[in-house]
Amino acid sequence: MPIQLDLTDDQALFHETTARFIEAELPREKTREWHERPEGFDPGWLAKAAELGWFSMLVPEEAGGGSVSDNPLADAALVAEELGRQVQPGPFVPMNVALAAIARHGDPARRAELVPAGVAGQAIVTWAATDAAGDWDLGAGVTVEARGDALVVTGERGHVQDAAQADWLLVAATRDGEPVRVLVPRDAEGVTVTPLATLDLARRLAHVRLEAVAVPADALVGGGAEALWHQHRQAVVLNLAETVGAMDELFTMTVEYAKDRVAFGRPIGSFQALKHLMADMALWLEVSKAAATAAIDAVGRDAEDAAEVAAMAAAAVGEHGNELAQQCLQVHGGIGYTWEHDLHLLMRRIQSNSVLFGSPTWHREQLCRVHGLGEEVTR
Amino acid sequence: MSAPTPTAEALEAYRAEVRAWLADNLPERQGPVLRAAHEVTPEQLAEERALQAKLYEAGYLGITVPKEYGGQGLTGAHQRIWQEESARYALPAPGGVASHVTLGIVLPTLLAHASEEQKRDWIPKLLRGDELWCQLLSEPGAGSDLAGILTRATRDGDVWVLNGTKVWSSGALAADYGICLARTDWDVPKHRGLTWFKVPLRDPRVTVRPIREINGSAEFCEEFLDDVVVGDDMVIGAVNDGWTVANTMLTAERSGGAGAGAGAAPPAAPRGRRRLAPDLVRLAEQRGLERDGATRQLIARAHISDWLQGQLLKRIGAGLAAGQLNPAAVSLVKLRTGIHDPQRAAIAMEIAGRNGIAWPADDDAASAPAIDFLNGRIMSIAGGSNEIQRNIVSERLLGLPREPSVDSDKPFREVLRDAKSWGKRAGS
């Protein structure tokens, strides 16, 4: 059953089609083939996924996008949830939020060139959002300077998803101290991509160094700080939908195992020590679903409290997700510690997601900032 | 239930009628409505009963209760209109919590299980405020294991004689009657020898005493039943079928008493922007900790947990209404409350620091963290402890197997006997 309860018929159909596509194309057992390969995924598979609309949802119709309901973020969250369940590779979250930003704030000519190719899965666009250490800096670690008619981009971005496979990087940067975004071709001179070893075996992250990379003036994507924050919230929401999908899958797996596995002459799921633990886990999962649903709604509508709700949901899901995954391993015991078992794939994804767009601690601090706690206020 | 679906026009007309009646007849609410029954003088109680009678005569009590039992026989839509419109008025609640128990818990139980004659006789009195009821349910030796009660009802000719001790009854000092669970057969398994009785609390053979709780106040009572005699007309449901009735009652209790009664409306959701856990921010500011990183994390944790409570309730409510969730999911809300409350109280104490353990004697507000600390485990114990909710979630929601039981299949008399030799047996 999907995380969001009140789906339209179109959304329900879309969700089902998505799940069937993943099952047919790249079920969890097949993703293992890609774990060893540095590129992480097959671009041909990405183009097939694009035919289902995976990269068009956050792009407005007039820019060549479109979605199945009037809350595109909710639709994208339906995909994200399934990506989590099946621990899929690929740049779903960064590519969607990057295309959304380009479609909305990019130069018209560049938009016309890039967005349709991205929506069709022909061009891979990723989002280089965080500083060298992987922390959100609102673009502070990269500067954009004018040089004649062109722009020069210098700095570092960390934890950039699928940077090695990408054709384009949408880089969070600053120009004259103001947050901006700038489009950089991955193969431009001065761009160095250094892949990192990752906890999540299906997720490629890389360090990106930009040494005086020259780009044309129309590479600038506007919108300012608020647009960057909005983009971050979108990523946070899709990321947590993915996490909750992974949690749901892992917990279902664990309950089934507890019913099947016999010890001391009984299914281990009949022991109160494990039943009570699993009741708490069921609660963490249900609360996470409630939080994710609220965040999808608030950020999708760009509601007044979107920043607060996204921070609260991310902190809650991040924390509950890791607790849940740990206890799923505990219930499984030794079998869950084996490489062959899928448990660790889900556990790795959940932990990785819980820090990718800000850790629970970071989101709690954001919550305090949103409320102005500790700041001087004029009453 | 069988009332025809009203038209939108009919509902709007009803709303207008309700609105006008409320404006003419009731004052607007000033403070919280709940308080302990014994803080009320007999004069106040009589006044509140008269006000409830007025409400009843006007047709606003028992809105969904069938007409033959003194109700209005209207739909849930009418009930919701009443709740929305009356939310800001001071509704009569004679005996405070006693009124809520009577209408929220006892009324739905009687509607489901009392005989036709009993319903026609009792329910109008209960709606009118003439009869306030309480529950005589838990005992000193039986709380979570409710079916393990020891109060006995013994047959003596054509009457029943009740003996035993009941405890944790809310509103018993104001109440006229108690709905009492007693054991009527000791030679069958524990769930199969229980029966419900209507017991008159003004009977000289019933002693009602307030219990002083760890927070110093006395919301609950204990009752001693010494040879209380009642007739067959006071038996509710079938003899020895009390567990069926108990399940109805516990469901009504866990769903917050949102039954067919007066329908105390839930507090209105705060409008506009949320404020960051205002009580905790104030405590932090009192100690100059509003910029302290560790304190900010605690405040954020508590605020998020408060928010999650509301989101979970919203999700489960919607999921149940749409038939998308298993009814046992209600226990998730109860369980989370039982976990959240003590954690929330502990955070407040941590932030309050020394201000939480000593405060100016004339500053009542400053005692809030201490009171919350003492009350933090109410919901984790009352109405089915956290452990009972975890059993319900794991068995009914997740479908995990039951633990082997040592008491559900043998005569209760043997259960009591075997329990005494438990230590000797277990070690051998």
Q: What are phi and psi of B269, to 5 degrees?
A: -65, 140
Say whether A368 and B274 touch across the interface (CB within 8 A): no
Q: Shortest Cα distance from B60 to chain A (angstroms)?
A: 34
- Residues in A closer than 8 angstroms to B308, CB to CB, are 287, 290-291, 312, 316
Say whether A371 and B275 touch across the interface (CB within 8 A): yes
Enclosing H/E stretch for B294 = helix B293-321
Q: Left, alpha or beta for B40 (phi > 0: left; psi -120 to 50: alpha)? A: beta
Cβ pair B175, B236 in contact under 8 A: no
* DSSP conformational letter for B139: B
* DSSP conformational letter for B142: B
What count of other Cβ atoms lies within 10 Å of the Cβ of residue A370? 17
- Residues in B closer than 8 angstroms to A373, CB to CB, are 276, 281, 290, 296, 299
pLDDT digits (tens, 9 = 90+) for B161-220: 999 999 999 889 899 999 999 999 999 999 999 999 999 999 999 999 999 989 888 888
Instruction: Pull the structure tokens for residue B182.
Output: 């007693």
Q: Please state, in angstroms and rounded to a whole number, the distance separating the CA atoms of residues A372 and B285.
A: 13
pLDDT in tens, chain A (379 residues): 889 998 999 999 999 999 999 999 999 999 999 999 999 999 999 999 999 999 999 999 999 999 999 999 999 999 999 999 999 999 999 999 999 999 999 999 999 999 999 999 999 999 999 999 999 999 999 999 999 999 999 999 999 999 999 999 999 999 999 999 999 999 999 999 999 999 999 999 999 999 999 999 999 998 899 999 999 999 999 999 999 999 999 999 999 999 999 999 999 999 999 999 999 999 999 999 999 999 999 999 999 999 999 999 999 999 999 999 999 999 999 999 999 999 999 999 999 999 999 999 999 999 999 999 988 654 4
Select from A377, A290, A352, A263 the least CA-distant residue to A4. Answer: A290
Torsion over CA of B47, B49, B51 and B56, rounded to 10 degrees?
-170
Q: Shortest Cα distance from A289 to chain B (angstroms)?
A: 9
Say whether A312 and B395 touch across the interface (CB within 8 A): no
Interface of A with B (CB under 8 A): 1, 5-6, 255, 258-259, 266-267, 269-272, 274-276, 278-280, 282-283, 286-287, 289-291, 293-294, 304-305, 308, 312, 315-316, 361, 364-365, 367-368, 371, 373-374
The letter for the amino acid at B324 is Q
User: Could you tell me which residue, B42 or A250, shows the higher pLDDT?
Assistant: A250
Q: Alpha helices of chain A — where are they, by DSSP H?
A: 9-25, 28-35, 43-51, 72-85, 92-105, 108-119, 224-260, 272-300, 306-332, 343-356, 360-370
What average pLDDT does range B12-26 have in this prediction?
94
Listed in sequence order, the residues at least 6 apart from B425 whose beta carbon sits closer than 8 Å to its beta carbon are B418
Of A308, A361, A373, the CB nearest to B299: A373
Q: Please state, in angstroms and rounded to a whole number, the distance separating the CA atoms of residues B396 and A80.
A: 30
pLDDT digits (tens, 9 = 90+) for B247-272: 888 877 776 533 333 333 333 344 44
Say whether A373 and B402 touch across the interface (CB within 8 A): no
The letter for the amino acid at A175 is R
Say whether B400 and A258 touch across the interface (CB within 8 A): yes
Of B299, B315, B397, the CB nearest to A282: B397
Q: How far is CA B321 from the centre of its chain?
A: 21
Tell me, what's the pLDDT at A42?
95
Q: Please state, in angstroms and rounded to a whole number, the distance separating the CA atoms of residues A244 and A250.
A: 10
Say whether B308 and A291 touch across the interface (CB within 8 A): yes
Q: Shortest Cα distance from A359 to chain B (angstroms)?
A: 12
Confirm whether B17 is a catalytic residue: no
| Angle between helix A306-332 and A224-260 (nearest 10) | 20
Q: Please state, in angstroms and rounded to a whole number, the distance separating the CA atoms of residues B403 and B383.
A: 22
Instruction: Pull the structure tokens for residue B391.
Output: 């059993």
Selecting among B253, B350, B387, B395, the annotated active-site residue is B253
Pairing of strands A150-161, A205-216: antiparallel
Q: Please state, in angstroms and rounded to a whole number, the distance separating the CA atoms of residues B86 and B80.
A: 10
Q: Shortest Cα distance from A9 to chain B (angstroms)?
A: 15
Q: Please state, in angstroms and rounded to a whole number, the distance separating the CA atoms of residues A42 and A165.
A: 10
Select from A55, A327, A108, A101 the least CA-distant residue to A226. Answer: A101
Q: What are phi and psi of A304, to 5 degrees?
A: -55, -35
The pLDDT-based confidence of B425 (bands split at 50, 70, 90) is low
Query: What is the 3-class SS of A233-292, one letter each residue?
Result: HHHHHHHHHHHHHHHHHHHHHHHHHHHHCEECCEEHHHCHHHHHHHHHHHHHHHHHHHHH
What long-range pairs does B75-78 form, CB within 8 A, spacing at least 24?
B75/B3, B75/B5, B75/B6, B77/B6, B77/B11, B78/B6, B78/B11, B78/B14
Whole-number Cα distances in Å, B80 to B32, B56, B271, B319: 20, 17, 20, 19
Give the ipTM. 0.95
* DSSP conformational letter for A336: G
Res. B69: pLDDT tops 50: yes
Candidates A264, A364, A365, A366: best to mutate against B (most CBs of B within 10 A) is A364
Give me the DSSP letters along B214-276: TTS---EEEEEEEEEEEEGGGEESSTTBHHHHHHHHHHHHHTTT-SSSS-PPPPPPPPSS--S
Q: Please state, in angstroms and rounded to a whole number, the distance separating the CA atoms of residues A226 and B237.
A: 64
Candidates B308, B320, B385: best to mutate against A (most CBs of A within 10 A) is B308
What is the residue-averaged pLDDT of chain B?
Answer: 89
Of B274, B389, B400, the CB nearest to A270: B400
Cβ pair B169, B199 in contact under 8 A: no
Tell me, what's the pLDDT at B272?
47
